[in-house]
Amino acid sequence: MIRSAHNRGILIGHGDTDECEHGYLRDYAKQLPELGQWTLKVTSKKEAKSPRKKGKKRGKKQTVTRKSREARMAVSAAPIQINPPCTKSGDYEESSQAMWIVRVWEVSPPKGQERLEWFLLTNEPVDSFTAAYRVVGWYECRWVIEEYHKGMKTGCRIESPQFETQERLQPAIALISVVALTLLTLRDAARRPDAKKRLATEVISSDYVTVLSAWRHGKARNDWTVHDFYYALARLGGHQN
């Protein structure tokens, strides 16, 4: 499942390519009938956006403030085929790809607020509200995935190894993936209200706790909390507490 960034050329339906009607992804999605609604809690947010002017490049960046609110969301879906790019870039078959378009939008945004709207593409069949809502749930996991990738790239420097073959690179990726996931789990546990009471061994291997506490205090401390372990680990990276 991915989020669509462009109003791509499509074929409507999953039928024979010679018989399907041509169209454009977003234009077609906005015509689809609604499958159902639900309420979404939206947090406040400030971000810099460049408005796109019709037929022109993006304008100057402006600070946009999103107010917190209870948004009424709707979803629709339909089978489509994504046409290959007119200008080929990369190694792929020049044939249409059968997918499903899932449009998610805010029904009645408050005055002065930008409408929430996403166009999602998936190869999973979406023929009901339940199936469409499941796809939306997958998209909501994107921030956790982004943090995981950030941990792999920035924290563990997964792009630094100079292996030249797939056989050498795959084991390194496997090990780094485990490290990144462990750090992400530890970070989330350290942000919880019970971090100063919860034992670190509930989250991290007892061997790690033994080694790190011995480095920090000169003797093993198995009574360390998540908070104790987290800050001691941060000191190894230069954190000043």
49 within a domain of the structure (yes/no): no
Q: Are 117 and 71 members of one domain? A: yes
Q: Are 212 and 105 members of one domain? A: no
Residues 173-203: tens digit of each pLDDT: 999 999 999 999 999 999 999 999 999 999 9
Q: Are 114 and 157 members of one domain? A: no
Q: Are 173 and 202 members of one domain? A: no
60 within a domain of the structure (yes/no): no
What pTM value is reported for the model?
0.69
Under DSSP, the state recorded for 199 is: B
What residues are paired with 79 via a beta bridge? 100
Q: Residue 15 maps to which CATH number?
A: 3.90.350.10
Give residue 228's domain range: 196-241
Q: Are 131 and 19 members of one domain? A: yes
Torsion angle of C-alpha atoms 214, 219, 224, 228, degrees rounded to 10: -50
pLDDT-derived band at 54, boundaries 50, 70, 90 = low
Q: Are 134 and 23 members of one domain? A: yes
50 within a domain of the structure (yes/no): no
Q: Are 38 and 113 members of one domain? A: yes
pLDDT-derived band at 53, boundaries 50, 70, 90 = low
Q: Are 16 and 124 members of one domain? A: yes
Distance CA 134, CA 126 (A): 9
48 within a domain of the structure (yes/no): no
Percent of the chain exceeding pLDDT 70 equals 96
Mean pLDDT, all residues of the chain: 89
Domain end position, chosen among 122, 140, 158: 140
Sign of CA dihedral 144, 150, 155, 158: positive
Q: Are 134 and 213 members of one domain? A: no
Number of structural domains the chain divides into: 3
Instruction: Output phi, psi for 57, to 5 deg.
Output: -70, 170
Q: Are 159 and 217 members of one domain? A: no
* pLDDT exceeds cutoff 80 at 106: yes
172 within a domain of the structure (yes/no): yes
- What pLDDT shows up at residue 237? 83
47 within a domain of the structure (yes/no): no
Give, for 236, the enclosing helix (H) or strand (E): helix 226-236
Q: Are 79 and 103 members of one domain? A: yes
53 within a domain of the structure (yes/no): no
Q: Are 176 and 238 members of one domain? A: no
118 within a domain of the structure (yes/no): yes
